[in-house]
């Protein structure tokens, strides 16, 4: 948790932003790494919107590691391992492009 506080932001607002970041990160790990979502997508969206609203109203709260600054399934990407029950590996047969497959049918 970032304990350094900006004097232009109320302590409760900064604390709520930290709580939202931590909660979103927990849910991201459950969803992307463990393949076991802990909340519905709509609830996750609401948490992210609340954090985005705080960071928009108080830009000094924005951090590079904030969930609002990420694109994609970063929790899983950081783990560099498949979810339980899944494996990694190359395709046994090379994948063909859709255009070539479509032309074969014509």
Which position has the higher pLDDT, 23 or 72? 23
Whether residue 102 is predicted with pLDDT greater than 90 in this model: the reply is no
CB atoms within 10 A of CB 7: 6
Model confidence, pTM: 0.62
Whether residue 92 is predicted with pLDDT greater than 90 in this model: the reply is no
The span from the CA of 4 to the CA of 1, in Å, is: 9
Whether residue 77 is predicted with pLDDT greater than 50 in this model: the reply is no
Domains identified in the chain and CATH numbers: 11-105 (1.10.287.610)
The span from the CA of 29 to the CA of 44, in Å, is: 12
Whether residue 28 is predicted with pLDDT greater than 90 in this model: the reply is yes
Mean pLDDT across the stretch 60-65? 93
The span from the CA of 15 to the CA of 70, in Å, is: 21
Whether residue 41 is predicted with pLDDT greater than 50 in this model: the reply is yes
- Residue 67: C-alpha distances to residues 18, 30, 94, 100, 101 (Å): 11, 15, 35, 39, 39
Mean pLDDT of the chain: 78
């Amino acid at each position: 948790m970032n304990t350094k506080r900006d004097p232009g932001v109320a302590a409760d607002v900064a604390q709520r932003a930290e709580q939202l970041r931590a909660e979103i990160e927990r849910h991201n790990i459950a969803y992307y790494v463990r393949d076991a979502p802990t909340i519905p997508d709509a609830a996750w969206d609401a948490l992210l919107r609340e954090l985005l609203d705080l960071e928009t109203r108080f830009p000094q709260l924005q951090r590079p590691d904030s969930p609002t600054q990420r694109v994609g399934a970063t929790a899983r990407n950081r783990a560099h391992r498949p979810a339980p029950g899944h494996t990694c590996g190359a395709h046994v047969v090379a994948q063909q492009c859709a255009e070539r497959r479509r032309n074969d049918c014509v």
